[in-house]
A and B are shown apart, each in its own frame.
Chain A
Amino acid sequence: GQQVMQIPQYQHVQEGEDFTTYCNSSTTLSNIQWYKQRPGGHPVFLIQLVKSGEVKKQKRLTFQFGEAKKNSSLHITATQTTDVGTYFCAGDATWGGGADGLTFGKGTHLIIQP
């Protein structure tokens, strides 16, 4: 079955440093989604990437989808304490309307030291 691997599992940064998490799928994806989960909270949708090579920005967050549509990254510039949480990528290998649940990576826990 489809597997989505995410690294690193944990990332400690000083406030103000940059942060990147990487996501790799064992199969080609139709789209990839990113979610953020605060400690004790629930996942919150951040963005969806659909096109090969797509790059999207949300303020300090930059999301990329690889040319082969098998990998993706999330980069945060100048981290702030509000960025603390776990960032999950979720791959969808569904093509043409088939039914599959999203496959989530195990997430990257971002810990920020002030």
Chain B
Amino acid sequence: NAGVMQNPRHLVRRRGQEARLRCSPMKGHSHVYWYRQLPEEGLKFMVYLQKENIIDESGMPKERFSAEFPKEGPSILRIQQVVRGDSAAYFCASSPQGQVYEQYFGPGTRLTVT
């Protein structure tokens, strides 16, 4: 049973470019969460999605960031016009139900903006 998969594992973008991060949840999991982690920092919640629905995006910056979890395919976190401050590790987690259950994290995508 494959775990949560994220790709790419490492992504380098120049300022102003777009970054697309993909997350495939564990089989049977319908809930996906995205977190951002800066070096030596904790995980900051960004967005919580179910299939075709954004449940909670209270942690998402209002501009340039968007997320989706389509009926088919992986969840996508999209960052438009990246800036140096977007450099971080972005982790996706999934769970079979909502928050009451533990979350299984993917290996993360380390985004570097040059």
How many of B's residues come within 8 Å of A, CB to CB? Answer: 27
| Contact residues of A between 1 and 52, Cβ < 8 Å to B | 6, 30-31, 33, 35, 41-45, 48
How many of A's residues come within 8 Å of B, CB to CB? Answer: 26
Give CA–CA (A62, B14) in the complex, Å: 46
Contact A99/B104 with A43-B43, A43-B91 known, Cβ cut-off 8 Å: no
Are the C-beta atoms of B99 and A94 separated by less than 8 Å? yes
Residue from B40, B98, B102 in contact with A48 in the complex, judged by beta carbons closer than 8 Å: B102
Decide yes or no whether B18 CB sits under 8 A from chain A. no
Give CA–CA (A30, B33) in the complex, Å: 19
Contact A45/B104 with A101-B56, A107-B42 known, Cβ cut-off 8 Å: yes
Give CA–CA (A6, B108) in the complex, Å: 23
Are the C-beta atoms of B41 and A106 separated by less than 8 Å? yes
Decide yes or no whether B100 CB sits under 8 A from chain A. yes
Residues of A within 8 Å of B48, CB to CB, are: 99-101
A31 closest partner in B (C-beta): B100
A89 closest partner in B (C-beta): B42
Are the C-beta atoms of A102 and B45 separated by less than 8 Å? yes
| Contact residues of B between 90 and 111, Cβ < 8 Å to A | 91, 93, 98-100, 102-108
Are the C-beta atoms of A104 and B99 separated by less than 8 Å? no
Q: Could you pull out 21 A-B pairs where Cβ atoms are within 8 angstroms? A: A33-B103, A42-B91, A42-B105, A42-B107, A42-B108, A43-B43, A43-B91, A45-B105, A48-B102, A88-B42, A97-B98, A99-B48, A99-B98, A101-B33, A101-B45, A101-B56, A101-B58, A102-B45, A104-B44, A106-B42, A107-B42
Q: Which B residues are closer than 8 A to A by beta carbons?
A: 33, 35, 40-48, 55-56, 58-59, 91, 93, 98-100, 102-108
